[in-house]
Structure 1
Amino acid sequence: MRVLVTGAGDFLGRRLLEALRRDRPEGRRILGIDRHPQPPLDGVTLLDVDPFEADTLNAAVADFDPTVVFHLAALASVARSSETPAYAWRADLLGTLNLAEAVARTRATLVFLSSTVVYGAAFRDKPRPDEAVTPRPDTISGRTKSACEYILRDVLANAGVKHLVLRPANYIGPGQSETFAAASFAGQIARIERGLAPPILAVGDLAAGRDFIDVSDVTAACLRVLDRVEELPDGGIYNVGTGIVTPVSAILDAFRGLTDAAFTVQVELDRTRPTGVRSQGCDPSAFMAATGWAPAIPLPESLAAMLDAARARVG
């Protein structure tokens, strides 16, 4: 089996490559591609490939001739997508279209890591939607992810190439960018503890609720897809989450319980989202039934690991 992972340098991409390497049976080959050079990883071939350059991408895919492709190369941050809409559309759609056309020339199965953010306004009617709920994206990130799902369906179905879509909820873990709320809390607290920042924690909308899942559980979901790739139906769409909506305020309370540092909380408008639905979860039961997967890492354990990693970064 030959497994190709796009977005090799991203938060999830690197972890998936590491997991594939640890779990590698005899004969499995692994290729990670990213726009930028990546640190070496034993047992994994890494290539600098710009997804915007169709000819280069085509050549890399054709030369490797993958069995399964995990497409992770996209903007994960809703906030960043909103700040750079033109780049968000170009990065997500053009990169996905080029990859789809390259994979359409192979016999691979493509697995796209979309997001539950595609449900958008549908969260108002059903805070924990299942896959039967029609997406109604209300953010740039949601619209680009939804459009990518259509691109893959149209291009690959026409070529007779199988594809699957996973829609992960809000995944978190050590080393995540501080553009995400939980990672931002961890980083700020670590700096406050070391006296590198005043005892003021900047926050956004604490009343918002999300389905927070550890990145290792999302990685495990990808590995389970790899094991069951022949059994899962072409065009299958699956939510990947815990099924539990946790208020951001509860994340902050959990971090307070992990530190002796005293701090005040300050709401900053640029950390709040002007649009979107406050409570966003998902129903992952279809994926659990189809694969036997289930989230294994409790939220408190994830948050403790994030704070420990943030402390290590500040010394």
Structure 2
Amino acid sequence: MKCLVTGISGFVGGYLTEFLIKKGYEVYGIDQSGNLVKGAEVLQADILDKEKVFKIIKDVRPNQIIHLAAQSSVRRSWDNPELTQKVNVDGTRFLLDAVREAEINSRILIVTSAEIYGVPNGILITENHSLKPVNPYGESRLKQEKLIEEYKEEYNMDIVISRSFPHMGPKQLNKFVCSSFAYQIAMIESGKQEPVLKVGNLEAVRDFTDVRDIVKAYYLLINSDSNGVYNICSGNGISISEVLKALLCFSNRKINVKQDPNKMRPSDIPVMVGNNSKFVNLTDWIPIIPIEETLKNLLDYWRKKAF
């Protein structure tokens, strides 16, 4: 079984590749950086390079495609909404056009985001929730999903969508909140940063899942028979302040916490917690790694980098 992973050199791509190889897959990757990923054949290409993407699809002829390549930062989407839309919408269009023009019937999983929902009108967000994104990143994901539905209807393409809620784990970039906290603690412990940890909004509540549980979910979803839309999430909410408290408990250093206006989002959703019952009913998937273990693993990763 050949699987092509776009954005393979990113945070999720490495974990996904490792998981797929253990399942006996032949893994290929598209990535702008061209960085090596153990066990995979990585082909350097920008997802916006339509001709290069088509050539890769035509040459590899994958049975399955998992589309991770994206501009995935909410903060960056405010700084550059045009690029966010271009990567997330046009990049998806070029990929789907390449599959169609290469005349192959690949099974495709496209990963979008819970940011598509906007401010929730209930406690747990289901897939039937209204789609009213409140930031350029979420808007790009909504346009992406509309494009996908058009291609499914017009060309009968075999596509399933994951609306992924936040995930974390070792190797995550420190521009994301949990990794930022862990990185700063590690730098403070190593003496490379003053004992002041800068934070943004600590009141927000989010639904976090370990990346190692996430990649198992993606494997189960692409190997299902469904062409639907599924929330991939833990179904449990935790405030950012609780995340910070848990990480600080792993350190013996006295650390002061200071709010940094630069880390505040122009528009932040107070609570975002998903309902995963539709996906669980489809696959029997259950996230098994406790958040405390994930946070400890994340902090230990940055400690190794810092010392």
User: Which interval holds the TM-score relative to the shorter structure?
Assistant: over 0.9
Q: Helix, strand or coil for the counterpart of 1:310? A: helix
Q: Following TM superposition, by how much is the alpha carbon of 1:64 offset from its aligned partner in structure 2, in angstroms?
A: 1.3
Separation of aligned partners in 2, 1:52 and 1:30: 21
Q: Following TM superposition, by how much is the alpha carbon of 1:274 offset from its aligned partner in structure 2, in angstroms?
A: 2.0
Q: How is 1:221-300 mapped onto 2 (pairs within 5 angstroms)?
A: 221-228=217-224, 231-232=225-226, 234=227, 236-300=228-292
Q: Following TM superposition, by how much is the alpha carbon of 1:267 offset from its aligned partner in structure 2, in angstroms?
A: 0.3
Separation of aligned partners in 2, 1:199 and 1:7: 35
* 1:33 corresponding residue in structure 2: 30
Q: Following TM superposition, by how much is the alpha carbon of 1:270 offset from its aligned partner in structure 2, in angstroms?
A: 1.3
* 1:183 corresponding residue in structure 2: 179
The runs of 4+ residues in structure 1 deviating greater than 3 Å are none
TM-score, normalised via structure 2 length: 0.96
Separation of aligned partners in 2, 1:22 and 1:295: 19
Q: Helix, strand or coil for the counterpart of 1:161? A: coil
Q: Following TM superposition, by how much is the alpha carbon of 1:128 offset from its aligned partner in structure 2, in angstroms?
A: 1.8
Q: Helix, strand or coil for the counterpart of 2:223? A: helix
Q: How is 1:157-236 mapped onto 2 (pairs within 5 angstroms)?
A: 157-228=153-224, 231-232=225-226, 234=227, 236=228
Letter in 1 for 2:259: V
Letter in 1 for 2:32: R
Maintained 8 Å contact 1:118/1:142? yes
Separation of aligned partners in 2, 1:299 and 1:40: 26
Separation of aligned partners in 2, 1:95 and 1:227: 23
Deviations 1:188-233 (A, max 9, x none): 00011111111100000110110011111110101112332xx22x
Deviations 1:142-169 (A, max 9, x none): 1111111111111233111111000111
Gaps of 5+ in 1: none
Q: How is 1:40-189 mapped onto 2 (pairs within 5 angstroms)?
A: 40-42=37-39, 44-104=40-100, 105-121=103-119, 123=120, 125-189=121-185
Q: CA RMSD in A?
A: 1.2
Q: Helix, strand or coil for the counterpart of 1:36? A: coil
Separation of aligned partners in 1, 2:117 and 2:282: 21
Q: Following TM superposition, by how much is the alpha carbon of 1:40 offset from its aligned partner in structure 2, in angstroms?
A: 4.6
Maintained 8 Å contact 1:79/1:179? no
Number of residue equivalences: 305
Separation of aligned partners in 2, 1:296 and 1:76: 25
Letter in 2 for 1:29: E
Maintained 8 Å contact 2:8/2:37? no
Q: Helix, strand or coil for the counterpart of 2:230? A: strand
Give the fraction of aligned pairs with identical amino acids, expressed as a percent.
Answer: 29
Question: Which range is displaced more, 194-203 or 50-59?
Answer: 50-59
TM-score, normalised via structure 1 length: 0.94
Instruction: Give the counterpart of 1:303 among 276, 295, 304.
Output: 295
Letter in 2 for 1:187: Y
Deviations 1:61-107 (A, max 9, x none): 11111111100000122112222212111111111110011122320
* 1:5 corresponding residue in structure 2: 5
Maintained 8 Å contact 1:200/1:266? yes
Letter in 2 for 1:290: L
Q: Following TM superposition, by how much is the alpha carbon of 1:288 offset from its aligned partner in structure 2, in angstroms?
A: 0.5
Deviations 1:162-191 (A, max 9, x none): 110001111011111111111010000001
Call closer, same or farther: CA 1:40–1:243 in 2, change over 3 Å: closer
Letter in 2 for 1:111: L
Letter in 2 for 1:16: L
Question: Which range is displaced more, 50-59 or 187-196?
Answer: 50-59
Letter in 2 for 1:304: K
Maintained 8 Å contact 1:120/1:276? no
Q: Helix, strand or coil for the counterpart of 2:124? A: coil
Q: Helix, strand or coil for the counterpart of 1:266? A: strand
1:22 counterpart = 2:22: yes
